[in-house]
Amino acid sequence: MRITSLLKPEAVKIGGVASDKDDAITKLVKLMETQGNVVDVDAYTEAVHTRESFGSTALGEGIAIPHAKTAAVSAPGLAAMTLPEGVDYDAPDGLPTTLMFLIAAPDTKADVHLEVLSRLSMLLMDPEFCDNLRAAKTAEEFLAVIDAAEDAKLAAENAKAAAAAAADATGYDIVAITACPTGIAHT
């Protein structure tokens, strides 16, 4: 699953403004609504606030990823917003949040929100990627940045898999570690 399969242009706000954490969540939920995957907006909003009550979903470095898994969601989705002026989101580093993603996940056995959270977090570890998202002028440009990063990550994963397959083809030496009853380890 690609990030952009869950994030549509109508759910991306470039240059958003929020007065506080609650206002930011409200604006992201409105963006999520445009995708038609939230069947009960009030229940979904409450679920996001409940998740936040356990601890801020701000990662630091200007990034927050609020999320909720609830029956108020019919299908997975994402919303995103850049906030050039930033908003206080209780970040661990105390910096204002300028880049937000909201994850909506249905309450099923699948943990799609964790998969999306993991994929996003891996991409967001790259400061250049984050800077490019913040610099995007349109939703389409924002999505293109994500697509390019996912393409590069996929290419790297494929290259790594190909290298591992080539190593398997040439064979590995086997190393075994055993325990000796007399207390001397043999390898």
133-173: per-residue pLDDT in tens?
Answer: 999 999 999 999 999 999 988 887 777 767 766 666 666 56
Q: Is the pLDDT of residue 187 over 50?
A: no
Q: Which helix (H) or strand (E) holds 64?
A: strand 63-64
Q: Which domain CATH number covers 73?
A: 3.40.930.10
**Single pTM value for the model:** 0.82
The reply to whether 161 falls in a domain is no
The reply to whether 179 falls in a domain is no
The reply to whether 155 falls in a domain is no
Q: Just list the catalytic residues.
A: 67, 180
The reply to whether 122 falls in a domain is yes
The answer to whether 44 and 38 are in contact (CB under 8 A) is: yes
The reply to whether 178 falls in a domain is no
Percent of the chain with pLDDT over 90: 68
The reply to whether 28 falls in a domain is yes
Whole domain around residue 49: which residue ranges?
3-150
The reply to whether 104 falls in a domain is yes
The reply to whether 106 falls in a domain is yes
If one counts the domains in the chain, the total is 1
- Where is pLDDT greater, at 130 or 184? 130
